[in-house]
Amino acid sequence: MEKILIADSLKDVRELEWDSISGSNPFLQYYFLSALEETGCAARNTGWVLQYILLYRDDKLVAAAPMYLKTHSRGEFVFDFAWADAFEKHGLQYYPKAVIAVPFTPVTGQRLLGKSTNDKLTVAKAAIQYTSKVGISSIHVLFPNYTDLTSLKEAGFSIREGIQFHWRNNKYQDFNEFLNSMKHDKRKKIRQSRNFISKSNLTFKWLLGTEITNSYLDFFYYCYSKTYYEHRSNPYLSIEFFKTVIQRSPESFLLIVAQRENELIASALNVIGDGVLYGRYWGCSEFISGLHFETCYLQAIEYCIQNKMGFFEGGAQGEHKIARGLLPTKTYSAHWISDSRFSDAIDNFLGYETDAVQKYFKELEESVIPPFLALTKSRVKRP
């Protein structure tokens, strides 16, 4: 017997059942998503109303989608503000909308959870049926992996392309071998930057799991919050959230700290999972030229080389990351619009946008990928 249920709390789902379909991506596991809800970071009062789509067969959870009803477009990293404005100008209501995503996390992964393509398709169609029934304007699936696109297209979603910059480990033996794979000008700039950091009497520590004590975490959170405040924004995540996830899954976190003697200067919190190091959150107590790139990217890359990790994802946007050895990588989102007049217009827009993104992507590839990497990168498989 098959049935679809809507959960307004992850507490309605057994942890072992959820993790049996969520895969190895750390951001989709129960400990991470439940912490977002429990600490109030992604909850009704912040405009994230949990409405998870659950597919049960013979009382066993076989597929799901982490869906939220939202009253704004913050914390998504796929921008639809122009679409919302167009709705408003025509006297239509865009919000609330539905988002299938990991809140505040522009990381590619499953969004239709489960092992069967047919089950994923069932969940995608169920999301459309539910949102249509309650009068929601649209559904936006953010950063799905490539395999989910088949089910989303078949269910009637339009696909949007984007670009991030990721680092791929070409089985480098050490950091110098990685540097030698780069063009001379980029290699020279990195060495100059690292020399400047060294002359600033800065040293770095890699702290794993239980080594991330409360004092280190408090400093990290000060830096993380300061980064948001400097951009006239409020941090999405609370100190309680970080303490909760690190306590529940300490092996999933790497904190990189920069210090001058015993004084902490900067920190970057990374998430470890499925053979990938995910660079997520950063901040510093004082500005030092090159410190951001060293703490967030170069130290992370060096960690990956030493620990034989295949990939490093440095977060959303940022063409500047090319100079640190990160390469262009396509990302995707999928969109279903209830009003056919707007869905047709958005399809037309996406057609033009996709052509522009593909042209830009090709130009980036041709300009930054050394010939030997162009030949080998297809052999480096994501887990």
At the topology level of CATH, where does 170-309 sit? Answer: Aminopeptidase (3.40.630)
Give tens-digit pLDDT for 264-288. Answer: 999 999 999 988 999 989 999 999 9
Contact 64, 21 (CB under 8 A): yes
Q: Give the per-residue pLDDT at 263.
A: 96
Report the 3 state secondary structure along 163-184.
EEEEEECCCCCCHHHHHHCCCH
Residue 82 has pLDDT above 80, yes or no: yes
CA distances from 246 to 41, 184, 185, 257, 267 (A): 16, 40, 39, 16, 16
Q: What is the pLDDT of residue 370?
A: 52
Asked if the model's pLDDT at residue 232 lies above 90, the reply is no
Pairing of strands 253-260, 60-65: unpaired
Task: Indicate whether 212 pLDDT > 70.
Answer: yes
In this structure, what is the dihedral angle of CA atoms 117, 119, 125, 126, given to the nearest 10 degrees?
A: -160
pLDDT at residue 369, as a whole number: 56
How many CB atoms within 10 Å of residue 210? Answer: 11
> What is the predicted pLDDT for the residue at 109?
95
pLDDT at 262 over 50: yes
Residue 128 has pLDDT above 70, yes or no: yes
For 2-164+329-374, CATH gives: 3.40.630.30
Give the H/E segment covering residue 328: strand 327-337
pLDDT of residue 379: 38
Cα–Cα distance measured from residue 383 to residue 380, given in angstroms and rounded to the nearest whole number: 10
| pLDDT of residue 373 exceeding 50 | no
* pLDDT of 172 over the 90 cut: yes
Give 336-357 pLDDT, tens digit per residue: 999 988 888 898 899 999 999 9
pLDDT at 368 over 80: no
Note the pLDDT tens digit of each residue in 17-56. Answer: 999 999 899 999 999 999 999 999 999 999 999 999 999 9
pLDDT at 206: 98
**Mean confidence (pLDDT) of the chain:** 92
Q: Which residues pair with 284 in a beta bridge?
A: 266
Kindly state the percentage of the chain with pLDDT values over 90: 81
Structure confidence at residue 372 as a pLDDT band (50, 70, 90) = very low
Q: Which residues of 24-35 are buried (b: 16+ CB within 10 A; e: fewer)?
A: ebbbbbbbbbbb
Question: Distance (Å, rounded) from C-alpha 212 to C-alpha 206?
Answer: 9
332: its two tokens:
């995707």
**For 300-327, what is each residue's pLDDT tens digit?**
999 999 999 999 998 877 777 887 888 8
Contact 300, 270 (CB under 8 A): yes
pLDDT > 90? residue 366: no
Q: Which residue stretches of the chain are H helix?
A: 15-22, 30-38, 81-89, 117-134, 146-155, 175-180, 184-199, 214-230, 239-248, 291-293, 299-306, 340-368, 371-376
Per domain, the residue ranges of the chain are: 2-164+329-374, 170-309
Rg (CA), the chain: 21
Residue 381 has pLDDT above 70, yes or no: no
